[in-house]
């Protein structure tokens, strides 16, 4: 079974990788991803300065998903720029996730990461867990201006990680923005922002930051993720590579993302909860699903979702 995939001219040995933020902050975590069955090493979304992130508890799993308000804990882009060349020894693509609290933060990080030469850059327009900071991905004009500046810096293929959109008008508006910039792939979606989980026994929220509000992940968000993958697949007529993220727990979940139009998937909540062996299990399950369905490869089923 051929589980490899190609995105922006870069070949991935399998279509499974970690989501930025899941087990990828420290050098040790990144090296462990390199030694695992992951098809790539995706870094934590990086900012100019190291960040401790929000106070804990800031991540909690619950039946059906997870809630988090991590606050972009990371080592800072100088540390990742130094690490990226070292990660090449694992012979799999390195994807650098770039974030910021202002446009200038993105630009500073972009200049450093361009010199480090990862295989792909994922521009995170969608972190919902910084108190007082809106998601850039919901401001179409701000997104356009930032991406225009970044495209002049990167020679590496640049993709964008987008927030969930809930209306076709918003899908179409962002697609118009992306058509005007040099975007090579999309990562869909980041966590669904500002959910709230309550512990009825203690009568409290379950995470500390933002009064308990946080980004939702896991199975609970899969329908939203699939809808965004499918919407952008159709808007770009299957010509834009998409990495699907959201609700990937089993091989069947991966298959659903592929049917909707994804070329690969990123795994977040399951990876945090289960550890790196999740890649082995999901890879095996995906192979079984594709074999049962009569597909010889990931590419063979991509975008083949039927409508009634």
CATH code, domain carrying 146? 3.20.20.70
- What pLDDT sits at residue 164? 97
In a domain, 58, yes or no: no
Structural domain total, the chain: 1
Consult the annotation and say whether 68 binds a ligand. yes
Q: For the whole model, what pTM was predicted?
A: 0.96
In a domain, 66, yes or no: no
Consult the annotation and say whether 247 binds a ligand. yes
106-142: pLDDT as tens digits: 999 999 999 999 999 999 998 765 556 678 899 999 9
251-260 helix and 222-235 helix, angle to the nearest 10 degrees = 30
Consult the annotation and say whether 246 binds a ligand. yes
In a domain, 201, yes or no: no
In a domain, 92, yes or no: yes
- Tell me the residue range of the domain where 169 lies: 5-51+73-190+219-301
Q: Is the peptide bond before 189 cis (omega within 30 degrees of 0)?
A: yes
Report residues of the chain scoring pLDDT below 70. Answer: 128-133
In a domain, 149, yes or no: yes
Consult the annotation and say whether 72 binds a ligand. yes
In a domain, 308, yes or no: no
In a domain, 285, yes or no: yes
The mean of the pLDDT values for the chain is: 95
22-70: pLDDT as tens digits: 999 999 999 999 999 999 999 999 999 999 999 999 999 999 999 999 9
Consult the annotation and say whether 292 binds a ligand. no
- What pLDDT sits at residue 126? 86
The half-sphere exposure of 154 on its side-chain side, counting CA atoms within 13 A, is 29
In total, the chain counts a number of residues equal to 308
Tokens at 201, concatenated: 């026994």
- What pLDDT sits at residue 119? 98
- What pLDDT sits at residue 135? 84
In a domain, 131, yes or no: yes
Q: How many beta carbons lie within 10 A of that of residue 22, not counting itself?
A: 23
DSSP state of 214: E
Consult the annotation and say whether 124 binds a ligand. yes
Q: Which of 41, 53, 104 is nearest to 210 (CA)?
A: 53
**Which residues are known to be catalytic?**
127
Q: What are phi and psi of 205, to 5 degrees?
A: -70, 165
Consult the annotation and say whether 218 binds a ligand. yes
């Amino acid at each position: 079974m051929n589980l490899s995939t190609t995105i922006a001219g870069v070949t991935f040995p399998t279509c499974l990788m970690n989501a930025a933020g899941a087990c990828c902050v420290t050098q040790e975590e990144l090296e462990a991803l390199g030694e695992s069955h992951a098809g790539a090493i995706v870094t934590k979304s990086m900012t100019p300065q190291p960040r401790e992130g929000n106070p804990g508890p800031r991540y909690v799993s619950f039946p059906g998903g997870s809630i988090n308000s991590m606050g972009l804990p990371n080592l800072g882009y100088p540390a990742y720029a130094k690490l990226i060349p070292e990660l090449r020894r694992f012979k799999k693509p390195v994807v650098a996730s770039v974030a910021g609290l202002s446009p200038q933060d993105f630009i500073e990080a972009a200049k450093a990461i361009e010199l480090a030469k990862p295989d792909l850059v994922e521009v995170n327009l969608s972190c919902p867990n910084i108190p007082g900071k809106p998601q850039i991905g919901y401001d179409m004009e701000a997104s356009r201006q930032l991406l225009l500046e970044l495209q002049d810096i990167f020679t590496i293929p640049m993709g964008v990680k987008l927030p969930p959109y809930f209306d076709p008008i918003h899908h179409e508006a962002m697609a118009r923005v992306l058509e005007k910039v040099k975007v090579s792939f999309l990562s869909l979606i980041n966590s669904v922002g500002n959910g709230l989980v309550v512990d009825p026994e203690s009568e409290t929220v379950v995470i500390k930051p933002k009064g308990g509000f946080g980004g939702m992940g896991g199975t609970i968000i899969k329908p939203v993720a699939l809808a965004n993958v499918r919407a952008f697949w159709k808007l770009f007529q299957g010509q834009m590579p998409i990495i699907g993220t959201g609700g990937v727990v089993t091989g069947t979940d991966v298959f659903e993302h592929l049917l909707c139009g994804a070329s690969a998937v990123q795994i977040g909540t399951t990876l945090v909860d289960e550890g790196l062996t999740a890649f082995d299990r999901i890879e095996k399950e995906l192979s079984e699903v594709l074999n049962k369905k009569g597909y010889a490869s990931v590419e063979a089923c991509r975008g083949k979702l039927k409508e009634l």
